[in-house]
Amino acid sequence: MNLRTLLTLTAFLLCDAKLPGLKQNIPPNELPSNPTQNAQALRLLQFGSKNEKTKRIADQYAVRHRREVFDSKSYESSLIWAHSERLDENGDVVLRWVNSDSSITFRLEAKTRGYVGLGFNSARNMRGADLVVAWVDDRNGNAQVLDCHGPEFEDRAVADEVQNYELISGYQNDTHTTVEFRRQLDTCDRQDFVIGEDTTQVLWSLGPNGSDGELPKHVKSGSRPLRLLQPLSKPDDSSLMQWDVRLNGLNIPHVMATLFWCKIFKAPDLPKKHHMVGYEPIIDSRPIKNGRPVLEKDSLSPVHHMVLYECADDPDVYVWNEWAKGDGFYGPNRPPEWSICVTPVAAWAMGSKGEFLPENVGIPIGKRGGATFYMLEVHYDNQALHEVLDSSGIRIHYTPQLRAHDAALLGAGIGISALHVIPPKQRHYRTVGICGSECTNTMIPDEGITIVSVLLHAHGTAKKISLKHVRGNEELPRVSEENSYDVRYQQSRIVPGGRKFYKGDTLITECTYDSTSRDKSILGGYSAMQEMCLSFVLYYPRTQLAGCYSMTPAKEFFETFGVKEFYGVNMMQVENIFLSSSYVEYPNLPTDNQRKESEETGMQGDDQGVGFMKELVIKEPPEFRNKTFLAHLNEMPWSEPLLTEQIEKTLYRGMHMTFCKKSDDSWGAPVQIQNYPNFTELTNNDTAEKSCHYKSVRLPSVTKANSATKISMTWSVILAASMQLLIIAR
């Protein structure tokens, strides 16, 4: 941090607060267009390859940070912004940023001539948030930033004791305020948020016109989840071609809150192997209002996630061609032949703008390498029960310029079924899915595979997801980890440098849920009200392994909840019912009764064996006799921590039934029941190794106050209700 800059900045703040009469009436800055720099930056963006671009960003950093003189009128920096996001739907607030290993520089363009507030938090509110407020003074055109924070238990903002944001430049035109500023990723200041790899809730607020220095209540505010340190991914590659895999006006009935739709697509006719290198979502959902379809904003679409699967070869091309011409099927009703479509090639979930693969890998498509047919599976979460005309799908980007390696996706985690239970009212409840050594021993080649990126996926109550890697008796560093999961924002995470994974290694997907907002147990399933715990692992070279999941065996599962026997079925039969594809892989078509019920109760996703849980009537032990299992589950004393801890531990550390699926839907290893593997867990040493060399400038303390500093300390920054930003300057 540049000391001189800060002192200058502090002086500005003090002067402004103290001398409101000092009106110099300097007209607002006119923006010189700075054509040279812009043109240069543009050229770099257009013609530089990604590597050059990345290097440029690193270089500009080295130069930029030697800047010594603070000059608020040098509004156009020559920085190339690696990222650019609209924080609101209208684009009234645009955030651009670029980071180095230790610091991050922002450019904030906001449609106001007053102040603009930006914040970082792990929650979607300002309690305990790191906040920064910036504005350009209408009187003299000087830009200013103020580092603030939200107290733990109050919705207001207070100026930090230590100012960790450094203003680079700022200006305003007739409509917008634009400021550039930077900070360290970790400022070593407890009043600031550490910007790291996890998902961050980025908060924003806009002040009314003219609110410079004395900052009244905001006019607008909001939040958006983002991962700020995500590496660049979209290549500037003009050789890219597109294949749109989308439904064609599917009519979604208003009676189903959860709908899985599957449709077959034929790959573009390519004479040689190409590589798929990325995809973007195509969201086109039109609710029927007054009998007419109305196109709505993406954020209101019921499309919850989409997966494109490659289908293994089937000699009966004629029938597959016919399917490719059809509209598709409701998941459970799809033809059984479609079960050979198991290898995921693209997995999109809401909040993602799409993905581009790392530069050294591509997924084969076209003759000699790719498949002929693909299956798109779209999950609609239509809790509002609208009738919708939907033509959503995925745009695949592919290229004839082959990458170094053929990659493939592997699904891992917990098999989707009602045997995955999260009790209500738990703050940190953990479940795990294992991809064990029996499977990797047979399916992974001797030279191993390299994992390049991971998409972690669960639903709304998940708070953390991590993908663990065990070799022998040792846990290796996490392959990927998200400690602040937000279901509204799912992007895959690059594994820096790749991770070598060998025969016999184990992958463990661990999910931690916060179910404090729920009154009943959450069961595993496809509906957004149910839960999942999955990782989609991108790796090379391709193998036959497509899916590697586990679940608790039925006998152990029910015994954990104190149940020994049901009327009419034995545990083997119960297990087989869960294993049969209708429960483990696809939701059951709701029966008329359930449908009526879900209409009456305003719909809770009721499938994946939940209905079956209601039909199982307990015979043994006598104290639970004649209750259904679901009723029993709902009556357990979940507020007893000893009970829930015991259940969590038994299911986590106990038996796991593992499934090892190949891309043609055959088994890579027999279904087995295994113990939780025995290994030394990684200790969480993050906090210990933090090195805080960074020093910042303290605002002068009150005790030594002269009249000027006193004013600075009464910068009590008040936020009324959540996110209402009000700053009072005296």
Binding site for ligand NAG (CB under 6 A): 109, 113, 173-176, 178, 208-209, 219, 473, 625-626, 678, 683, 685, 688-689
Q: Are 425 and 515 in contact (CB under 8 A)?
A: yes
Residue 476: Cβ-neighbour burial (10 angstroms; 0-12, 13-18, 19+): middle
Contacts of residue 238, Cβ cutoff 8 Å, sequence gap at least 6 = none
Cα–Cα distance between 194 and 141 in angstroms, integer?
A: 31
How many Cα atoms occupy the beta-carbon half-sphere of 403 within 13 Å?
A: 24
Q: Are 537 and 493 in contact (CB under 8 A)?
A: no
Residue 39 CB, shortest distance to ligand NAG, in Å, is: 17
Judged by beta carbon, residue 255 or residue 617, the one nearer ligand NAG is: 617
**Minimum distance of ligand NAG from residue 112's CB (angstroms):** 6
Give the residue from 654, 652, 587 showing the smallest Cα distance to 430: 652
- What are the structure tokens assigned to 172, written together? 């305003």
Least spacing, CB of residue 218 vs ligand NAG, in Å: 10
**How far is 349 from 341, CA to CA, in rounded Å?**
19
Closest contact distance (angstroms) between CB of 712 and ligand NAG is 28
Question: Which one-letter DSSP state was computed for residue 681?
Answer: P
**Least Å from the CB of residue 470 to ligand NAG:** 12
Nearest CB to ligand NAG, comparing residues 18 and 614: 614
The tokens of 630 are what? 């679901």
What one-character DSSP code corresponds to residue 561?
A: T
Handedness of CA 355, 356, 362, 364 (dihedral sign): positive
**Does an H or E element contain 647, and which?**
helix 641-653
Amino acid at 271: P
- What DSSP letter does each residue of 507-548 carry, written as one string? EEEEEEE--TT-SS-EEBSSSTTSB--EEEEEEES--SEEEE
**Of residues 127 and 619, the one with the C-beta less far from ligand NAG:** 619
Closest approach of ligand NAG to the CB of residue 30, in Å: 9
Report the residue number, 472 or 670, with the smaller CB distance to ligand NAG.
472
Residue closest to 664 by CA, chosen among 484, 544, 518: 544
Identify which of residues 92 and 482 has a Cβ nearer to ligand NAG in the complex: 92
Rounded to a whole number of angstroms, the minimum distance from the CB of residue 622 to ligand NAG is 7
Contact 92, 109 (CB under 8 A): no
Q: How far is the CB of 612 from ligand NAG (least distance, A)?
A: 19
705: left (phi over 0), alpha (psi -120 to 50) or beta: beta
CB closer to ligand NAG, 171 vs 348: 171
Between 322 and 620, CB nearer to ligand NAG: 620
Least distance between ligand NAG and beta carbon 299 (Å): 23
Q: Closest distance between ligand NAG and the C-beta of residue 346, in Å?
A: 34
To the nearest whole angstrom, how small is the minimum distance from the Cβ of residue 682 to ligand NAG?
Answer: 7
Specify which residues 116 forms β-bridges with: 134, 206
Residues 6+ apart with CB under 8 A from 149: 128, 129, 130, 131, 157, 158, 160, 191, 192
Of the pair 233, 506, the CB lying nearest ligand NAG is at 506
**Shortest CB 472 distance to ligand NAG, Å:** 9
Which is nearer to ligand NAG, 2 or 173 (by Cβ)?
173
**Residue that has been written with the tokens 């908060």 in this structure:** 203
Nearer to ligand NAG, 93 or 412 (CB): 93
Contact 167, 70 (CB under 8 A): yes
Nearest to ligand NAG of 176, 263 (CB atom): 176
Question: Residue 219 or residue 697: which is nearer to ligand NAG going by CB?
Answer: 219
> Exposed, middle or buried by CB within 10 Å (0-12, 13-18, 19+), for 680?
exposed
